Amino acid sequence: MDERGDVQTPVPWFDPETAMLEERVAATELAWLTLDVDVATLRVEIDNFALVHHQRLGPLYARLDELEALVAEARAARTGDPEDLRRAAEARQVVAELPDLDALFDSVRQAERQSPDERRAPAEPEPVRRVRPGKEAQRLYRELARAAHPDLAQDPAEQERRSVFIARANEAYGRGDAEALRALAEEWSTAPEAAPLPGAPERGEWLHQRLAWLTARIGELAAERVRLESTAMGSLLVMAPGDPEQLLAELADQLLAGAAERQRELEGLLGAPAPNGGRGRHNGAAVPPRPEPGQETPSMFQQIPTAPVETVPAEAVLIDVREQDEWDAGHAAGALHIPMSQFTARLDELPDAPLYVVCRVGGRSAQVVQYLVANGREAFNVDGGMFAWEQAGRPLVSGSGAEAFVL
């Protein structure tokens, strides 16, 4: 009481050390949330960049691999040199065994999101996704993460509720869906929030534990960011953080230039005279001699019958010469599977009818058609291979019953 007998409210005890600790925890929590959002954003950007990289550059990489193998095989066929033969075998092995991991992972993710009815429905080409979600989606996602992160709550039930909510926000952000993020923000603004009460006797100890946890978490996030940036897709994205779309365009130009150079080299090898004036062999088929002066040097695809995908009849005998893993991932319904490595041993399985031969992009099938024509069979190389087949909307099936894709 004071001198007049009035009851006074006691002044709360103020601990400068606790107050300073509160400020440190608040600042560290802000730094952790910011870094957590940055790492989540980087992960989404890398995933999207990998998808766009596959969509735009996958066929170009595949074409360049085929041309590298064809050039090595043509050179080995003409020289017969053991070292050239070894290099040709290694180049073909790369083409046969290197899986397209970006397409595989994307197919798995897409299949997991689909219902059984959607998986059975004919697949429509997926529109090319932007590498980075728009600025509005980024802003909304950051605000949601800072407001609803599970580790901002202490109650286990509240943490679980926040985890489910943030998972929905992550999914919407991965799609770059600003409208969905806006609806989630409105939903969160009407929900109650659980927060620890300050002023308890154990508050100081809790603050020390919280600070230690936040510091450790920041270290883990920093390590994760370094790991993401050091991945193949991450290191490419870091090269052009401001304009990844332009980087993809530049890479496509480089791949196209490399493919054109290899195509010219291959045409020169196929049209050049064999050593000592003889006729070389290319995967068991005769390589034509150099044309007489005044004749035009033919390209590889002009030397064999070729059929665009659109002209292949529905009832045609289609021979798929890819390897087993490629066939299992996705193939044309009704096709006959005879891998190129087994082809000569299984010639008796070929029906007596015109044959349409297909591989991934047209390189291996070109060699098989060349062999068949040299042996008197009517055969056609399916131009562009299974990539062109898929892009033309021709039906695909898989060996496992899952959604089919071209590997």
Q: Which residues are catalytic?
A: 359
Rounded-to-integer distance, Cα 399 and Cα 403, Å: 10
CA 234 to mean position of chain CA atoms: 12
Task: Please answer whether residues 72 and 88 qualify as being in contact, where contact means their C-beta atoms are separated by less than 8 angstroms.
Answer: yes
Strands 285-286 and 281-282: antiparallel
Give, in order, the Cα–Cα distances in Å from 223 to each of 29, 174, 188, 229: 18, 22, 31, 10
Residue whose C-alpha is closest to residue 75's, from 340, 283, 295: 283
Task: Please answer whether residues 234 and 47 qualify as being in contact, where contact means their C-beta atoms are separated by less than 8 angstroms.
Answer: no
Helices then strands, counting H and E runs in the chain, come out as 13, 9
Residue whose C-alpha is closest to residue 138's, from 180, 175, 188, 173: 173
Strands 285-286 and 306-307: unpaired
**Beta bridge partners of residue 382, listed in sequence order:** 307
Rounded-to-integer distance, Cα 190 and Cα 185, Å: 9
Q: Give burial (CB, 10 Å; 0-12/13-18/19+) of 257.
A: exposed
Q: Which residues contact 82 (CB under 8 A, 6 or more apart)?
A: none
DSSP annotation string for 114-156:
S-HHHHHSPPPPPPPPPSS--HHHHHHHHHHHHHH-GGG--SH
Count Cα atoms within 13 angstroms, Cβ side, for 203. Answer: 14
Give, in order, the Cα–Cα distances in Å from 374 to each of 73, 87, 258, 285, 337: 18, 25, 30, 7, 21
Strands 355-358 and 379-382: parallel
Count Cα atoms within 13 angstroms, Cβ side, for 229. Answer: 13
Give, in order, the Cα–Cα distances in Å from 212 to each of 30, 194, 203, 223: 14, 22, 14, 17
